Amino acid sequence: MQLARLTFYRVRMPLQHPFETSFGRMTHRECIVVEAEDEAGHIGWGECPADRDPGYAYETTGTAWHILQEFLAPAALQTPLNDEAPAADFQRRVRAVRGHPMAKAGLEMALWDLHGRRTGRSLRALLGGVQERVPVGVSIGLQPSTDALVRRVGDFLALGYRRIKIKIKPGRDVGEVAAVRRAFPDTPLQVDANSAYTLETARALKPLDDFNLLLIEQPLAEDDLWDHHKLQAEFRTPICLDESIVAPRHARQALEMDAARVINIKQGRVGGLLNAVAIHNLAQAQGVPVWCGGMLETGIGRAANLALASLPNFTLPGDISATDRYYARDITRERFTLNADGTITVPDAPGLGITVDRSALAAYTLRSTRLTPPA
């Protein structure tokens, strides 16, 4: 399969509600949308989830734009990609590009979508997914007050979400969890610190062991497995790693050293769906549960997350909420909604199974660029 064109769109979309974490407060979300077209006119879409600011990870829309244009696109456009496995061929070509997993994931996703459309197969089928609908939860940002947080949790439970995740940071942790637990004693609940603690300050979280949490997500630094191992030894509650796992090797090492007992898999963070499936398989072989994380994706990335979360070892609900939790107007025509049983249905049309609303995409695009094969 020879690509005829790659187009990148730098997109900025207003969020329905500001999203606050230990690393900052977002009112808008940026990302890069990737459009890949083959010589027959088939089109595949991808989403690179790097944000405007390097708060969650070092990649930004600016760095990803640069890496995509200068290195990844030329590698993909150079010569025909392997027809049976274009995503794997692309990853082989860009192995010499160190890091930048989100940039790689964005282009890889477009190749999966294109491959699925060319072969008439859904991404779920291509990846080996087994569920038609997947259980989902909601990730709630830091709120102005504890009361506001408890109200917000109640609102989402009333909508039918089966699992709640709340963001924490030093000083806004045990008190918030205690209040939510008092109000909702049996709700599946977990917390996410986005690396806001050190081994020393994390000892303040010890009371969380008595609140029957599903897990504590990424309490310590993103580049640190060893201190997570030390912390896990002090906690009964499973530690779950997010930021620290950016490749299958990190997942293997984290499990070997007992630095985590659960893994959050985000296809963007780990460099694409191929790596995401590899991490899923590795955890499955060791009986370690995984769940699908989110990055406030548009309908494009959301469709990919749903397909991924349909694999058998995604046994915990994902951060894959309904479209209206994020955006009043999305860039896909499909809007994802919550089923009565707290699941979202996995698309089953070819590729990602979505159609892009080009006028919405245009309305949110800050800049775009188009690249073609060398003459």
Active site residues: 167, 266
Cβ neighbour number for residue 212 with a 10 Å cutoff: 13
Is 51 a binding residue for Mg ion by CB under 5 A? The answer is no
| Closest to 346 (Cα-Cα) out of 317, 316, 303 | 303
CA dihedral (94, 97, 101, 103) positive or negative: negative
Least Cβ distance, residue 270 to ligand OSB (angstroms): 13
Is 59 a binding residue for ligand OSB by CB under 6 A? The answer is no
Least Cβ distance, residue 319 to Mg ion (angstroms): 8
Of 61, 91, 122, 139, which one interacts with ligand OSB (CB under 6 A)? 139
Q: Report the SS3 class of residue 147.
A: helix
* CA-to-CA separations, 230 to 162, 170, 173, 260, in angstroms, rounded: 31, 19, 20, 10
Annotate 323-366 with DSSP letters as a single string.
HHHH-SS-SBS------TTSEEEPP-SSBT---B-HHHHHHHEE
Phi/psi of residue 77, nearest 5 degrees: -90, -25
Tell me how far the alpha carbon of residue 102 is from its chain's centroid.
10
User: Which partner from the list Mg ion, ligand OSB, none does 112 bind, CB cut-off 5 to 8 Å by kind?
Assistant: none
Is 295 a binding residue for ligand OSB by CB under 6 A? The answer is yes
Tokens 């993909």, located at residue: 76
Of 37, 242, 297, 334, which one interacts with Mg ion (CB under 5 A)? 242
Is 241 a binding residue for ligand OSB by CB under 6 A? The answer is no
Least Cβ distance, residue 305 to Mg ion (angstroms): 14
Of 143, 187, 275, 321, which one interacts with ligand OSB (CB under 6 A)? 321
Strand 133-135 and strand 43-48: pairing? unpaired
Q: By Cβ distance, which residue is nearest to Mg ion?
A: 242
User: Which partner from the list Mg ion, ligand OSB, none does 334 bind, CB cut-off 5 to 8 Å by kind?
Assistant: none
Query: Quick one: which segment of 90-98, 110-118, 206-214, 287-295 binds ligand OSB (CB under 6 A)?
Result: 287-295
Is 294 a binding residue for ligand OSB by CB under 6 A? The answer is yes
- Cα 264 to Cα 279: distance, rounded to the nearest angstrom: 10
Of 293, 342, 350, 353, which one interacts with ligand OSB (CB under 6 A)? 293
Q: By Cβ distance, which residue is nearest to ligand OSB?
A: 294
Is 297 a binding residue for Mg ion by CB under 5 A? The answer is no
Is 192 a binding residue for Mg ion by CB under 5 A? The answer is yes
User: Which partner from the list Mg ion, ligand OSB, none does 319 bind, CB cut-off 5 to 8 Å by kind?
Assistant: ligand OSB
- Cα 305 to Cα 134: distance, rounded to the nearest angstrom: 10
| Closest to 165 (Cα-Cα) out of 55, 344, 291, 269 | 291
Least Cβ distance, residue 279 to Mg ion (angstroms): 15
* Residue 192, beta-bridge partner list: 167, 217
From the number of C-beta atoms within 10 Å of its C-beta (0-12, 13-18, 19+), residue 265 rates as: buried
- Which residue, 219 or 272, has its beta carbon nearer to ligand OSB? 219
Is 20 a binding residue for Mg ion by CB under 5 A? The answer is no
Give me the 197-236 binding string for ligand OSB, x by CB under 6 A, dash otherwise. Answer: ----------------------------------------
Query: Quick one: which segment of 64-72, 143-151, 242-250, 297-305 binds Mg ion (CB under 5 A)?
Result: 242-250
Binding site for ligand OSB (CB under 6 A): 56, 139, 192, 194, 242, 293-296, 319, 321
